[in-house]
Structure 1
C-alpha cells in the first residue's frame, strides 16, 4: 500500500507552506461597499476588504462644528473686549462631537462582517498641538471605535502618527489609543505605521490640522535626515502607554527600499497583524506585471513563518471604485458571449468571473514559491512558539509516560548520544584500557542513570553490538512507574541483558559484582540525559555529584563530559504581554525562568570583537575531581544529607562547588528595549582521544545548532524575564549579572541587567537598570 505520509502534517515528507490572507484597501473610498461591490472585490481574488467607519457627511459635520466653535469663541471675545492673548488664558469648554447618525455612516452589521476590517478616519489628528483639534480627533476616534465594535468588527485599523519627532504629539496619540482600548470590548486596535519614514510614502490624506493650517505642524514638514528607528520609537511609546495590551497590534507599511536587517528583525518581534503594501513598492517586470524585489520576497517569507502569520493588505491597487460601480450598472449575464467565454478561458477563470487582480495574482505566485515547512516547523512545534512552560522538576516530580514519549521523538539527540557511546567503546578497546573489573572480568560496566523509558539503554546496546564490546548494563530509574515499563521492556526487547534498579541515582551503592555478595564494582561509562534548557537547570550537576563516586578512576567516562550555559538579551513584546496578564494571578510570573520555543524575538545585541551576541555564562565538567559530599562519604561510609541553609547559613555547604556567577557585557549598536534574557546550552558528550577527531556535541545555540545537532528539538531555550522593559540608547552596553545559587536543598537563579552609555572616549554612565530578580521561591528542589 502506498504511503500517505504526504497527507500527514507530522510526517517527514509532508509539504506545506504558509497561506496568504490578502485584503484590499482603497484610500479614496469613503463609503462601505454595497453587497454587489463586495462580491466583485472577492471575485477578483481578495479574502477581505477594509471599510471606512464614517463618511464624508460626518467629516463635513465635524469641520462645521470646529468652524462654528471658532466663530462662537470670537464672538465671546468681542463681547467681553478681550485680546487674543487674554482669550487664550480663559478656560472655555471644548466642542462636543455629537453621536453618529445614519447619514454619517454606511457601515452596518452584515453577514460578511468577518471579511470586513474597519478603518478609522485618516483625517483626524490625535497628535495636533492645537488642543481643539486633538480633542475633536479623540472624540471622533472613540465614536468610530464604539460603533465598529457594535457592528461586530474584529479589527479596527487606526492610522498612526504622521511624524515622530514631536514627543508631545506622540504622547497625546498614545493617551488617545489607551482611551480607545477602554471603549472597545471585543475588537483589536491595529496601528498603521511605516517600517520607517521613507520619503514619498507618507499619508496624503488631508487632516484637520492641515485643513486649518496648523502652523506648528507645517514647520515640522521640513526635510530632515532619515532616522530609521523613529517610527519604532513612536510604536514603543504607544504600546508602553497601553501597558502592552493584548488587544493592540501593528499594521506595518512595507517600504520601497528595505532598511537594514536590524530594523527588520525589530519589527519581526512586534505583534504584527497586517503587512500593507502599496503600488509604489511593486516594480513592473518586462511584461509590465507587478513584482517585488528578492529582498521584499525574503522579508515576506520570513514574516509569514510566525505562528500567527500577518495578513497582507494591498493598498490602492484596484479594483477601483469606478470599476466596481460600472460592474454594478452592467452586471455579467448568465450566458456570456462566445468572445467573453473565450477570453475567460485564456485567463484561466470562469466566464462570469472577473479577471483576477494582477497584484493578487502575483502574491499568490509568491505564496506558492515559499519554501515548504521544515522539520522544525511541524504544526506541533509551531504551536509551541513563544508558549511559556514551567521548567521540569525531575528530582521532586515523577514524569508521565507522555512526557517521556515527547522527548523520545527526537532522533537527533539519541543519534548523537549513540555516536558518543560508540566512540567511547571503540577507543576503550583501541587504547586497551583496563575495565573496572580487570583482570577477573573484561566486561565493560555501563550504567544509564535516569533511564526513563529506556531510549538510551537501547542506544548503549546498539553501540556495544556495533563495536563488538562485551558489557554489563545497569539501568537506574527512581520513577516507580517508569521502572515497571523498564522491566517489561527488558523482557520484551532487551532479552534480559539489562539489570534494572529502582533507585535515586544519588543513593545507588554501585554495580553489584556477580558471585561476590556485598561487593560492588565501579562504572566504566556513565550515561545520563539530565540536561535542561540552560544545561544545569534540571540539576544535572547535583545528580552526577551523587553518583560520580562510582565512576572508575582514572579511565572512567561520563557522557556527557561537559556542558556550558549561554545568554543573550532579547526583545520579546509578545511574551512580556503574556507575563503581564499572568502576573495578576501569579506573583512569581516575572521571577520564573520559563522554557519556551523563542521565535518572535529580536536579539538586541550585535557581535563585536571580544563581545559576542551569545556569551558563555559558566561551565560544568564531569566527573569532578572531588566534592565535599564525596569527602564526607569516604570518611563516614554514607552520603551526607544536608539540613539546609548551605554555607550562607553556616551549614556545611556541600553543594557550594556547583554555585556559579557571571558578568557579561553585550554591545547594542541601535537603540531599543530588552524584556529579558534568552538562555541556551551546549554539551560535549564525548571527546575522542585520537588526534584529528572532532568531539561529539549537541547544541541549542541559534548560531551553532545546525553545525552540531541540526534539527534537534528535545530542548527549547529558557527565558529569564524582566519585570519592566529596559530601554537603552544607541551604542549602549548591557551589563548582565547572573548567579546560580544553592543552599544544599535547592537551586535557583538570580539575575539583573544594567544599561551603560558612552559619553566620552573613556567615560560611560549608567542610564538604567532592572531590579534583582530571583527564582528562589520556585527553586528546583534537590
Structure 2
C-alpha cells in the first residue's frame, strides 16, 4: 500500500536543494486566526499563513455605505458634481488583526471584494479608500507583506484600459501609506477560466460581471500586459512583487519564461491544479514539476501559497472556558497519558495536509545544487558589478585567485597551446630561439597561463622558452617566486606593460654605440578578453605588442573573438539600475555597461530562419595582416594624402581600424518589453591550418554547453535602456551599436528601434530608445603638446623606454616633457593613452574614472 508523502525519503546530508516555504490561504476566512488555530495550520505542514485585514462586519458596513451613496446620487445628481462618499476609519468591530509578537510572520490579504477597476466612480472611490485603510492599518500592526487581488479584466480588452490604469494608480498611492510593507499583486499566469477569485466584487447592481466563455479565444499575454502596466505606473518600485496563480493547463514556454523574469514572491496553487494518483494523494503534472524546478533555481526563489486546500480548523475557544476549574480528567495516570499521546501522534500524522506533504516530497526530489550553483552562479544572479579595470588598476592577489578558480578556461587555453605546439612540430616551422618555441604570456597575472604553457610543452615534448610579461609590480614579485618554487627557473619574468615590451632579450649591448638585441615571439598568449570580447581593449593591447610576434609564422592565442547581442527583458536589473540612478544622479547608471550574471531574464526575440536570438555584432582577429599594420603606421606618421585623416575630434585615426558598427534585426513573435541588451562573446583560441581542429571559448547560452561547459570566468555584459521599450506582437527590433574611437578613448553607443509590418513591403516605426553613449571622462588633450607631432612620427620599434623614475607616472609637467627625448615622449604619450582604460572601453585617468558600486 502506498504511503503518504509525509513519510518521505531522507536526503543526503551533503546535498543542498532549494528550500520550499509553503503557506496556507483560505479565501473564505474573515477573521485573523487565534493562537490555537495558527498552531494547527503550522502543525499541518505549513510555514506561514495569510490573514484578512478586515472582517465581515466591515464588509457589511461598506456595502451599506455604497448602497446609500448610490441611492443619494440618483436622487440628487447635479451636473459636474461627484459627491464621493468617505469611508469612516476602522473600529475594533471591523478587524481582529492587532499588533502581536507573531504578527510580522503573517501575510496580510487585502479584501478581494473591492473593485479598483470599476467604471463607476463611487465604487472605485470606495474601493481605493478601503485599500488605503487596510494597507495603512496592516503597516501599523507590523505586517511585512500584503497580497492584493489583481484586476479581473485586462487592459487589452476593449473598454478596460482605463480600469487598469486606475488600479495601478491606487497601488501607487498605497505605497505612500504602507511605508514598510511589500505589496504583492495576485494575478493569474493567464486568464484560464475558473482561476479568478470566487468572491463577488463590490459593484453597482447595474454592472454585471462578464464571465469568460469556454469557446472564447484566450489571450495568453493579456494578464502579463496588465501587470506590466501596473509596475510601469508604479515606476518599477522595488517593493512591488507578483503572486502568480498557476493554472491547471500550463501555457507555452515563452509565457513561462516571461513570468520567470518578473519579481516573483509567491506561486499560488488551488485544488483544481492538482491531480489525484492511484493512492488518492494529490500530485502535479510533469510540466508543473518542471516549472517548479526551474523557478526554484532563482536566487530569490518564490514561496508557495496553497489556496483553499485545508486544513479544517477548530473554532477558537471562548474566553470564559479559561475560568472552568480543572477536573480529575485533566490529570491522567502515566499509562493513560502515554496512550493519549500515542493517539494524538497518530491523529497528527493523519491530519497532516496532503497538499503540503506533496510539495515537501517535491522538495526532496529536486536536483541538488551543483558546486558552482552553491558558490558562484546562485550568489551572483542578477547582481550588478562595476567592472574591473585591470589595465589602470593593480589587482590584488585575491582577485587573481577568483579568476583562477575556473578550471575550464585554463584547460581550454592549455589545449590551444598544445595543439599549436603539435602543429608547429609537425610542420617543422623554424623557431625564434635555438632553445625551442618562444612563448610569451602577455599580462601573466599570477601565472596560471604560464603553468599551462609549460604543461603543454611537457605533454607534446616540444621544447619551449617562456616569457612572462606583467605590469603589476606586486604580481611581478609573485611571478618571481613562482619561477623559483614551481617552474624551476624555466621562465623569464619581465615587469613592463606589454605594449612597451620590445621582445625577448637576445643579448646585451655589444658595443657602446649599439643597443641591446631583441628577438621575436613564436606564440603570443593573452587573456585580455572581456564580457563583450573587446570591452577590455584587447584589440588595442594586442596591436601594441604585435611587433614582437614573428612575421609570417607567429601565432596569437586567442586567434579571434566575436561579440554577440540579444535584446532582453530583466525587470529586477532595470529596477536596480534605476535606483542607482536616482540615488546618485551623477553616476550615469543608464549610460554604463554592467557586468552581471543574467538569470531572471527573458530573451524577447525568437529564433527564426536567418534571424537568431543571439546575433554577431562584430569580430576581431589577430595578428593584424601586414596591409592593416602599414595603414596604421601611415596614419600615425601622417603619411596619407591630406594628412593623417582620422576622426573629427582631431586624432590622426591610428586606431580607426578598431572601430566597429552593426545593425541587427531581431524578430519578436509575442509582445513584450525590452530593458536593455545582453552582450556575450565567443573566441577561437586556436584553429589548425586545415580548419578541422578548433579550441574555442563561448559565453553564448546556446553554445557554452558545447564549447566551454561550466565556464564561469565571464558573466554577460548588460547595456541598459533608461526607458523600457514596449514591443507589440510580430514586431522587429533594429539594434544599432557602435564601437567608437578617437585615438584617446574608446566607447560604445547603442540604440533600439521597434517596427511593425503594415504591408508586404512597408513597415512603420512604433517605438525607439534614446541614443546611449557609454559614459566616462575624457583624457586630457595631450595631443596639443608641442613635441607631440614630432614624437608621433617615430616608428614603434624605435621607442625608447623612459627612465625608471617615469615608469609609473600618470602625467608630466611641461618642463619634464621637454627634458625627455622625442622618442621617450612618444612612448609616454602612448603609455598614457593605452593604460588609462576603464572596463567599458573608455580611456580615463585613475582620478576621473567612475568609482566601483
TM-score, normalization: structure 1? 0.91
How big is the shift at 1:320? 2.4
Choose the corresponding residue for 2:485, options 489, 492, 499: 492
Is the counterpart of residue 558 in structure 1 residue 553 in structure 2? Answer: no
Is the counterpart of residue 509 in structure 1 residue 502 in structure 2? Answer: yes
* CA offsets 1:431-487 (integer angstroms, 9 cap, x no match): 1111124xxx15111100000011101111111111112111110011111111111
Report the 3-state secondary structure (helix = DSSP H, G, I; strand = E; otherwise coil) of the residue aligned with 1:380.
Answer: helix
Partner Cα separation in structure 1 for residue 769 and residue 142 of structure 2? 41
Residues 582 and 589, structure 1, Cα contact 8 Å, conserved in 2:
yes
The answer for the alignment partner of 2:802 in structure 1 is none
Is the counterpart of residue 299 in structure 1 residue 291 in structure 2? Answer: yes
Partner Cα separation in structure 2 for residue 344 and residue 700 of structure 1? 57
Choose the corresponding residue for 2:133, options 143, 164, 182: 143
Choose the corresponding residue for 2:419, options 415, 419, 423: 423
* CA offsets 1:330-359 (integer angstroms, 9 cap, x no match): 9999987777666677x6xxx767732100
Residues 120 and 156, structure 1, Cα contact 8 Å, conserved in 2:
yes
Change (3 A) 1:752 1:634: closer
The answer for the alignment partner of 2:397 in structure 1 is 401
The answer for the alignment partner of 1:545 in structure 2 is 543
How big is the shift at 1:723? 0.7
Report the 3-state secondary structure (helix = DSSP H, G, I; strand = E; otherwise coil) of the residue aligned with 1:433.
Answer: coil
Query: 144-153 or 92-101: which moved more?
Result: 92-101
Residues 635 and 645, structure 2, Cα contact 8 Å, conserved in 1:
no
Change (3 A) 1:535 1:723: same
The answer for the alignment partner of 1:25 in structure 2 is 25
Report the 3-state secondary structure (helix = DSSP H, G, I; strand = E; otherwise coil) of the residue aligned with 1:495.
Answer: coil
Partner Cα separation in structure 1 for residue 634 and residue 432 of structure 2? 19
Structure 2 counterparts to residues 344-743 of structure 1, below 5 A: 355-437=351-433, 441-514=434-507, 518-584=516-582, 585-587=584-586, 588-626=588-626, 647-689=647-689, 693-743=692-742
Partner Cα separation in structure 2 for residue 609 and residue 390 of structure 1? 37
Partner Cα separation in structure 2 for residue 68 and residue 776 of structure 1? 60
Choose the corresponding residue for 2:259, options 235, 251, 267: 267
How big is the shift at 1:375? 3.8
Choose the corresponding residue for 1:170, options 161, 164, 188: 164
* CA offsets 1:479-515 (integer angstroms, 9 cap, x no match): 1111111112111111111111111111111111147
Report the 3-state secondary structure (helix = DSSP H, G, I; strand = E; otherwise coil) of the residue aligned with 1:368.
Answer: helix
TM-score, normalization: structure 2? 0.84
How big is the shift at 1:690? 5.5
Partner Cα separation in structure 1 for residue 307 and residue 680 of structure 2? 42
Partner Cα separation in structure 2 for residue 243 and residue 565 of structure 1? 32
The answer for the alignment partner of 2:61 in structure 1 is 61
Structure 2, unpaired ranges of 5+: 1-12, 323-328, 511-515, 638-643, 778-839, 844-853
Partner Cα separation in structure 2 for residue 602 and residue 495 of structure 1? 51
How big is the shift at 1:201? 1.8
How large is the Cα RMSD of the aligned pairs? 2.7
The answer for the alignment partner of 1:84 in structure 2 is none
Partner Cα separation in structure 2 for residue 14 and residue 711 of structure 1? 21
Is the counterpart of residue 315 in structure 1 residue 307 in structure 2? Answer: yes
The number of residue pairs the alignment matches comes to 746
Residues 47 and 115, structure 1, Cα contact 8 Å, conserved in 2:
no
The answer for the alignment partner of 1:780 in structure 2 is 841
Choose the corresponding residue for 2:207, options 209, 215, 235: 215
Partner Cα separation in structure 1 for residue 191 and residue 268 of structure 2? 15
Change (3 A) 1:306 1:325: farther
How big is the shift at 1:216? 6.0
Change (3 A) 1:338 1:418: same
* CA offsets 1:507-564 (integer angstroms, 9 cap, x no match): 1111111477511111000000000000000000000000011111211100000000
The answer for the alignment partner of 2:111 in structure 1 is 121
The answer for the alignment partner of 1:180 in structure 2 is 174
Partner Cα separation in structure 1 for residue 41 and residue 608 of structure 2? 51
Query: 513-522 or 272-281: which moved more?
Result: 513-522
Partner Cα separation in structure 2 for residue 759 and residue 722 of structure 1? 27
How big is the shift at 1:626? 3.6
